[in-house]
Structure 1
Amino acid sequence: MPVVEEYARVHVLTDADAPGDEDGSTVPVVLRYDPGGDPRSVLVGLPGRGPGARVREFVFARELLERGLRGPAGTGEVRVWPCGRVRTVVEFHSAQGCSVVQFDAQVLMRFVRKTYAVAAEPVAR
Structure 2
Amino acid sequence: MPTRVIDQAVQVRLIATAPGPHAVPAVLHYQPADPLAVRMSFPPEISLDGAAVDWAFARELLADGLHTPAGRGDVRVRPYGPERTVMEFHADEGVAMVQMRTADVQRFLARSYTAVPAGQEQAHLDVDGGLAELFGAA
**Normalised-by-shorter TM-score class:** 0.7 to 0.9
| Corresponding residue for residue 65 of structure 1 | 62
| Per-residue CA distance 1:52-90 (angstroms, 9 max, x = gap) | 922111100000000000010000000000000000000
TM-score, normalising length: structure 2: 0.75
Q: Which runs of 4+ in 1 moved over 4 A?
A: none
Q: Does 2:6 correspond to 1:10?
A: no
Question: What is the CA distance between 1:50 and its match in structure 2?
Answer: 6.6
Aligned with 2:109: secondary structure?
A: helix
Larger RCO of the pair (alpha carbons < 8 Å, separation 6+): 1
State the match for 1:90 in structure 2. 87
Count of paired positions: 115
Gaps of 5+ in 1: none
* Shift in CA distance, 95/48, structure 1 to aligned 2, threshold 3 Å: farther
Of 43, 52, 57, the match for 2:39: 43
SS state at 2:13 partner: strand
Identity %: 36
Larger CA Rg, structure 1 vs 2: 2
Greater shift in the superposed pair: 51-60 or 73-82: 51-60
Contact map agreement 1:45 1:55 (CA 8 A) in 2: yes
Say which structure is richer in helix: 2
One-letter code of the match for 2:10? A
For structure 1, which segment, 22-31 or 104-113, has the greater mean C-alpha deviation from structure 2 after superposition?
22-31
CA RMSD of aligned residues (A): 2.2
